[in-house]
């Protein structure tokens, strides 16, 4: 599906994308929104990959592994003029990784754990140039996020009305919990949303035009 953003085009700032086609290997509406800030049309082509990682991985190595897993799955469909972006986001607290909740009860447990604490959100991304599809360029960014106290009533309301089930850690920084539950962020807000746009911009500019 081709997505044409309303934002003014930044194509002149990214020479590597001249005469190329940008592909986002994700169905995430948040990543679609963020990449759309560049004002450059891109195709949405979700990657179909089992998001399973080896037990020995920890920290940023987890989203980097899954991002590359998605990139390899999507790269099979690429043609030479395309540049693909795959990505993965994880929430980590005290050495544990909080993935997407599978039930309301699990979402409540995650929010209770995050309540009143500081955790890390890491988003990794992988760039693939269709001319060299076997070469993966992967980077990541980590942001610290601190929550105030979340009452049981707040958590129940949030889960009922804000659909946390497609979000790592059971929350989205761009919605109610970001406005009312997060009291500080140390790092990029966009990394928490799902794409470290400052590094995406740098990474795209590093590709040969």
Catalytic residues: 88
CA 160 to chain centre: 23
3-state secondary structure labels for all residues of the chain:
CEECCCCCCCHHHCHHHCCCEEEECCCCHHHHHHHHHHCCCEEECCCCCCCCCCCCCCCCHHHHHHHHHHHHHHHCCCCCCEEEEEEEEEEEECCEEECCCCCHHHHHHHHHHHCCCEEEEEEEEEEEECCCCCCEEEEEEEEEEEECCCCHHHHHHHHHHCCHHHCHHHCCCCCHHHHHCEEEEECCHHHHHCCCHHHHHHHHHHCCC
And the tokens for 149?
């106290």
CA dihedral 58, 189, 174, 99 (to 10 degrees): 0
């Amino acid at each position: 599906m081709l997505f044409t953003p309303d934002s003014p085009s930044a194509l002149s700032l990214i020479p590597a994308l001249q005469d190329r086609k940008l592909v986002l290997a994700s169905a995430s509406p948040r990543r679609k929104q963020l990449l759309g800030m560049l004002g450059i049309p891109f195709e949405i082509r979700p990657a179909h990959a089992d998001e399973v990682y080896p037990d020995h991985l920890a920290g940023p190595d987890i989203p980097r592994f899954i991002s590359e897993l998605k990139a390899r799955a999507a790269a099979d469909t690429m043609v030479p003029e395309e540049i693909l972006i795959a990505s993965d986001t994880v929430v980590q607290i005290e050495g544990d990784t909080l993935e997407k909740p599978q039930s309301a009860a699990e979402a409540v447990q995650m929010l209770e754990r995050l309540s009143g604490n500081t955790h890390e959100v890491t988003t990794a991304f992988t760039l693939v140039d269709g001319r060299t599809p076997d070469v993966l360029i992967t980077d990541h960014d980590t942001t610290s996020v601190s929550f105030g106290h979340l009452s049981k009533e707040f958590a129940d309301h949030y889960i009922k009305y804000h659909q946390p089930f497609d979000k790592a850690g059971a929350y989205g920084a761009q919605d109610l919990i970001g406005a009312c539950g997060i009291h500080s962020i140390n790092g990029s807000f966009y990394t928490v949303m799902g794409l470290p746009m400052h590094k995406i911009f740098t990474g795209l500019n590093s590709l040969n035009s």
